Structure 1
Amino acid sequence: MKLCLTLLFSAFLAGLIYAQENWPRFRGVDGRGVSEAKLPEEIGKQNLRWSVPLPGPGSSSPVIWGDALFVTGEDRKKGKVSLTCLDAMSGKKRWAKSLDVGGYHLHRFNNTAAASPAVNEDMVVVCWYSAKKESAMMSAYDHEGNRLWVHEIGSGKTQHGLNIQPEIHGDKILVCHLHMNVGYVGAVGVKDGKSIWKTEFPGGKTSYVTPLVRELPDGGKEVVVASQSIGVVGLDLKDGKVRWEVPGSMKQRTIVSPINVLAGSNSKDVQIAVGCKSGVYFTVRPPVKAGGEAKIVWRMKGNTPYVPTPVSDGKMFYSVSDGGVLVALDASSGEKKWEEKLMANFYASPLIVGGRLICLSREGELIVAEIGASYKEISRNSLELGEAIEWSDVTPAVAHDRLYVRIGARLDCFGEK
């Protein structure tokens, strides 16, 4: 009995250390946007550890593995995107690799370095678009900057430009390639970059979601994605076969990524939250077995998010609308508890770090607040965008008890000195 408890504690501790030292994808471990890191109560100039220039601006979030931080940046005039590796502790540049993207149509708020990379203990992968090949691509490098392989994802027509954010899970890399004329969700092998499976779907409004991988009761795993053309779908991680779906549930473009709002609680229940433009946001309870019926549990009414993905600690769910209305709901029932007008605009997703809410506004204000039964703002500091930067739209990263905030072509690191 004593040995079992020791092993359980060791596993728990290992998981905690993993989460504190790594931020492997957009919004961190499992895409939850939650960390137990210890940050200063007030985050601003007084606890800026370092600030370094990047090779170019972009809206991709940094990803971190141990002491290695990876981030992309664009040189729009030269048609280049750089993947840069920095020392996460000092900000010193280790290496940078250039990708030939060329020129192509983009929404004015989009850019060629919009897709966040993904990283594991062996490699970092980044998705980009080749104007020459007219195809989405994915490149893999080891942590020393050696190129491992390049995978051609395929062509796709978009209205606002490409943004495919991969998820590395075990021996597979998941990509959501759902666009106006073609669509598929696929798995690529981490070792060779070759396709393992590809599940095709009809074209529709482009989806910008990052896939969610979740564990099943029988020990298997599934991939959850959402788009206007397919609604919400759960796929078997092993072979890509559809396990369940909620068709016709998305009316417009999907940007917010799927999250399990009950993750972090002791509940065995699962509710996957998804949404799209035009006021649609709800949770789905997936069936236990493939082929079963997925049921919608609750829906948000008003102030739904379009770009920022909400965050949940498993008990309370927090959503920031693009226009700055923060809404707190009971994660299980969807019952509204309170709301707060933050008097700012948001594209970056909120995070919960050490039990506190962290929000970065488009205007460059970093907000730290106590949450739970009510909202209590602790600090609100301007990060000074600079003349060349119009908005701050990048979701921060967290590791090593530090907050990494990308502002255009600059990366700031905050933490206790």
Structure 2
Amino acid sequence: MKWMLRGVSAATIMLLVSGGDHAASSAAEPSGSAAKAAWWPQFRGPSGDGIAMQQNPPVEFGGETTSLWRTELVGKGWSSPVVADGVVWMTTAVERQPTEEERLELLRKTDNDEKKFRTLAIAASIELKLLAVDLQSGSLTKTIDLTTVQQPDAIHSLNSYASPTPVIDGGSVFCHFGTFGTFCIDRDSGDVVWSRVLPLKHAVGPGSSPMVYDDKLILIQDGMEQQYVVALDKATGETIWKADRPPMRASNGDQRKSYCTPIAIEDSKGRDQLICMGAQWMISLDPSSGEEIWRVDHGSGFSVVPRPVVHQDLVMFATGFGSKELWAVDVTGTGDVSNTHVRWTVSRGVPTKPSPLLLDGLLYIVDDSGVASCFAADDGSVVWKKRLGGNFSASPLLAGGRIYFANHDGDVFVVRPGDEFDLVQENHLGEQIMASPVAVEDSLLIRTDQAIYRF
């Protein structure tokens, strides 16, 4: 193996799995095979890549009649569920909706151009909460109040005030709401251990999910007015290091912001790297100090959402809005590698929200408008393309040897991976899906705009 995904805490156990394209890892992973089967601690799962090799969820499902349970949820949130010790955790925001007159008045108090008002949503106030649901019964066991924000900033109409996915580490759940606050919650007691507010102008709301690396909680803070990566002490919330982004060409703050989630790797040289995508620059940082290892100028892309994936010594990432390209960069360089370490780029069918999925040297993506594609990871050549239909924000999940693609309309397409497109099943929930599906205990957890299902 030339590389492996780094774990998210000092207690991490590395489990290499088939295909040589990913490694499963976990933070303070529970012992016993049954416990591990119900372990989904962060955005895109134990290894952060959307792959659950040991799971075998159903192929055909839909609606309450085929679900093990369905639990309605208070508030609104596009964060994905995280699971440990038989408990499903999710963040949510309970909004006090303004009248149309109040809405316009609130929007005028923001920095947004009135021409953008039709694409924005804003609440008069929000109550941010953490919900706990029993994995076996679906019962709501805890509703933890975190904070109330009066007159919060506006968000995009497709976003929510609770979009970043929490991360579980040991006995803690870390919840991040961007500029509205970051919280460490004790899983047993439900008490807030610490909280921080790191102000940022998101423009369209928060989106970057947190990750844990050893003793650090890593946050990407790419706003309109400032862009940086910060490591907080996961025990206290105090800042360990802060790394500012490289200088940018864009004079408009809207084209400097971003919403990506980092990954951690060890390259073939044995270097630990924190890979942090942002507007214009993809950068690699030393996770212990925050010092830059390398950087690559990917052009004019901004508002990047998809989480990168790694194949051997290649990191693959989408460049966001503006340029909308898919890049592969060799991670073994040092300094500015823009002219030396870019291995390939693709400019068609690239997503701005769903993350890519990598298995056995093939890269699977679905763009926002529902076109699924398969590329060869080595050179970026197209293997197949197929329109699924609908609009997509959720990232794909691979489990049981199948890929699950979920669109906004509540349609879930089950596709068999390989060098030919093979649609196995279409399922229809009839509720909006923005959160990425989760696989635990040979079942699927799917959060919709109304409820969470277990199939």
Alignment TM-score > 0.5, same fold: yes
> What CA distance in whole angstroms lies between the structure 2 residues aligned with 1:361 and 1:306?
14
User: For 2:299, what is the secondary structure of its paired residue?
Assistant: coil
| SS in structure 2 of the partner of residue 79 of structure 1 | strand
Q: Provide, for residues 206-246 of structure 1, a one-character-per-residue CA deviation record: whole Å limited to 9, x for no partner.
A: 211111111234544211111115x1000000000000000
- Of 160-169 and 218-227, deviating more is 218-227
| 2:230 matches 1:213 | no
| Alignment correspondent of 1:31 | 48
Q: How many residues align?
A: 387
Please name the residue that 2:176 is paired with: 127
What is the identity, as a one-letter code, of the residue corresponding to 1:93?
L
Task: Give the alignment partner of residue 285 of structure 1, picking from 318, 327, 330.
Answer: 330
Return the TM-score normalized by structure 1: 0.87
Question: Which ranges of structure 1 fall in alignment gaps of 5 or more residues?
Answer: 1-8, 130-134, 263-267, 386-390
Asked if 1:270 is matched to 2:314, the reply is yes
Is the Cα–Cα contact under 8 Å of residues 20 and 35 in structure 1 kept in the other structure? Answer: no
Name the counterpart of 1:94: 141
Structure 1 residues 272 and 302: CA distance shift in structure 2, 3 A: closer
Determine if contact 1:128/1:138 at 8 Å carries over to the other structure.
yes
Residue aligning to 2:371: 325
Residue equivalent to 1:377: 423
Corresponding letter in the other structure for 1:307: K
Partner of 2:78: 59
Superposed CA offset, 1:294-331 (max 9, x none): 61112123111111111111411111011111111112
Where in structure 2 are there 5+ consecutive unaligned residues?
1-12, 18-23, 27-32, 97-124, 248-252
Aligned to 2:132: 85
What is the aligned partner in structure 2 of residue 43 from structure 1? 61
Q: Contact (CA 8 Å) 1:55, 1:82: kept in 2 or not?
A: no
Match of 2:225 among 174, 181, 192: 181
Q: Distance in 2 between matches of 1:314 and 1:371?
A: 9
Q: 1:169 to 1:111 in 2, by over 3 A?
A: same
CA distance change for structure 1 residues 292 and 226 in 2, over 3 Å: closer, same or farther? closer
Q: Which string of whole-angstrom CA distances, capped at 9 and with x for unpartnered residues, describes residues 263-293 of structure 1?
A: xxxxx433333321232221111125x4473
Matches within 5 A, 1:138-157: 138-144=182-188, 145-152=190-197, 154-157=198-201
Q: Cα distance, 1:19 vs. partner?
A: 6.0
Post-superposition offset of 1:123: 0.6
Report percent identity of matched pairs. Answer: 25
- TM score, norm. by length of structure 2: 0.80
Task: Give the distance between the partners of 2:304 and 2:221, measured in 1 at CA.
Answer: 12
Q: In the TM superposition, what is the alpha-carbon distance from 1:405 to its structure 2 partner?
A: 0.5
Instruction: Tell me the amino acid that sits aligned with residue 415 of structure 2.
Output: A
Distance in 1 of aligned mates of 2:451 and 2:401: 27
Aligned to 2:278: 227
The CA deviation at 1:89 is 2.2
Q: Give the residue type in structure 2 aligned to 1:286.
A: V
Q: 2:208 aligns to what?
A: 164
2:450 pairs with one of 409, 414, 417:
409
Match of 2:103 in 1: none
Give RMSD over aligned pairs.
2.3
Which secondary structure state, in structure 2, belongs to the residue aligned with residue 55 of structure 1?
A: coil
Residues in 2 aligned to 1:10 and 1:106: alpha-carbon distance in whole angstroms: 38
| Partner SS for 2:385 | strand
Distance 2:159 2:419 in 1: 36
Change (3 A) 1:377 1:19: farther
Task: Give 3-state SS (helix, strand or coil) of 2:164's partner.
Answer: coil
1:72 aligns with 2:97: no
- SS of 1:345's partner is coil
Q: 2:138, 2:404 → 1: CA distance?
A: 22
CA distance in 2: counterparts of 1:10 and 1:318, whole angstroms: 24
Distance in structure 2 (CA, Å) of the matches to 1:333 and 1:353 = 25
Deviates more, 1:13-22 or 1:242-251: 13-22
The Cα of 1:164 is off from its aligned counterpart by 3.1
Q: Using the alignment, how far apart are the partners of 2:227 and 2:347 within structure 1?
A: 30
The CA distance in 1 between the partners of 2:343 and 2:401, in whole Å, is 26
Is the contact between residue 272 and residue 285 of structure 1 (CA under 8 Å) also seen in structure 2?
no
Give 2:158's aligned residue. Answer: 109
Q: Deviations over 1:11-58 (max 9, x none)?
A: 669969576331111111232011121112223346411100112221
Contact kept in structure 2, 1:118 and 1:166, CA below 8 Å: yes
**What amino acid does structure 2 have at the position aligned with 1:95?**
K
Preserved contact between residue 101 and residue 112 of structure 1 (Cα < 8 Å): no
Distance 2:266 2:199 in 1: 31
1:20 maps onto 2:66 in alignment: no
2:313 and 2:277 map into 1 onto residues whose CA distance is: 20
The 1:248–1:382 alpha-carbon spacing in structure 2 relative to 1, beyond 3 Å, is closer
Corresponding residue for residue 349 of structure 1: 395
Task: Name the SS of the counterpart of 2:129 in structure 1.
Answer: strand
CA deviations 1:320-367 (Å, max 9, x no partner) are 011111111112221111111112221111111122110111111111
